[in-house]
Structure 1
């Protein structure tokens, strides 16, 4: 059996994620004793042995929605967002005089990966709505890498998941060298999924109980407030932008 909470798992959040999973497992009455932290996330997401994982909205709508079961959507402690939604922050170096996304249309744009909602789809969809595109992308492999590349001058701007950015502001010194240029329009948060054959209701109920039972410190560490239901159709209506050049 596989349980994975890898999307926001970093050294500072790992123990809280472990306690969250332990509480879910207790409420559910089954599941692996520990979270899976190694291997390929696609192998986890598509495994018939998947009990619980969190994926990104773009992979969910592009490749997973008909192969997995949607469990629910976390509610994170993010300002100016409806429950179960998040946004991307487009960041640049704090001393960069440019102050509008369009100013960075041809600049070096760091993104984590092509199937990322917050790193690629959201900023490109936002750009399209405003009459431009980010034309000089550089793949970084992770939001934290994107932010560091901008802070260190290897890129000029990047698009970061709002919760990842919040965690960077708490834990990464380089975040002080960055400024937020823009917020994109909120979209549904990274969903929790289970294997296609699994019943999602016991999992949703177990997660509701587990999050409520977390200590205030763990809820703050994970910036999590609860879990809600957002229909799969709402994820599927978000446009898929053109892929970055190979």
Structure 2
């Protein structure tokens, strides 16, 4: 059985999705040419496949149990405001004409989030709001949109007032959808945490894992223009313990009696 791979997490536009697919194809040619690039419909099931050669996940699912099935391969460094090395943060955005100038001012407002298993759109957002919540509530209502791009559209279209957006996604959105992002403005940011890691099944050998890391580094140097379009500057090789800070943000929100975004 051939191995499978996919890098869909930052395919914010069709051009970006094609760029990530091309980068992945170059990596696979160097490591396992027979591996199949797929388009997963159920990411949680895909990440747990024993034949997974390379994928990208969010740090929150990783600490919530995915770490039992996968190994960390690398964490990208992105050239985007809000990134520092392998760490990133979320940008808290509202409409350009909205009256909010800080997260504290958003009490009673309508919040949008991409998914409850997202670190950038939910966990970090909840952690930022937690100190201001009263009796487990802060917002007037919440809306699950399914994606960061969906949250941006919800805020811009006045279906929500505020959202926390992965700063890498926001940088890509500014490039790809300037008319959308021009209708929004930032009013804050979340605590920084390790970025979205590249992962492989625990069944992947140490030799293959090392080959994947070498191939990732090589693809940046042989295609510098593509790396620039993907805002890729390099990679770090973090330990599982580095991602404990994401669990810590969840725990701090729960201690503040703010277990869910509300």
- 1:148 equivalent to 2:148? Answer no
2:239 is matched with which residue? 231
Asked if the contact 1:51–1:195 (Cα under 8 Å) also holds between the matched residues in 2, the reply is yes
1:20 is matched with which residue? 23
Q: TM-score scaled by structure 1?
A: 0.92
Q: In structure 2, the residue corresponding to 1:220 is in which secondary structure?
A: helix
Q: In structure 2, the residue corresponding to 1:83 is in which secondary structure?
A: coil
- CA change 1:134–1:119 in 2 (3 A) is farther
- 1:169 equivalent to 2:179? Answer no
Aligned-partner Cα distance in 2 for 1:76–1:219: 10
1:58 is matched with which residue? 60
Aligned-partner Cα distance in 1 for 2:111–2:31: 43
Q: Paired residues, what number?
A: 242
- 1:5 equivalent to 2:22? Answer no
Q: In structure 2, the residue corresponding to 1:230 is in which secondary structure?
A: coil
Q: TM-score scaled by structure 2?
A: 0.87
Structure 2 unaligned runs (5+)?
254-258
Asked if the contact 1:124–1:134 (Cα under 8 Å) also holds between the matched residues in 2, the reply is no
The alpha carbon displacement at 1:31 in A equals 4.5
2:203 is matched with which residue? 197
The within-5 A match list for 1:89-238 is 89-128=91-130, 130-132=131-133, 134-135=138-139, 136-172=141-177, 173-198=179-204, 199=206, 200-216=209-225, 218-238=226-246
2:42 is matched with which residue? 40
Q: Note the aligned Cα RMSD (angstroms).
A: 1.7
Aligned-partner Cα distance in 1 for 2:116–2:183: 25
Q: In structure 2, the residue corresponding to 1:14 is in which secondary structure?
A: helix
The alpha carbon displacement at 1:2 in A equals 1.2
Deviations 1:94-122 (A, max 9, x none): 01121001111321100000010000011
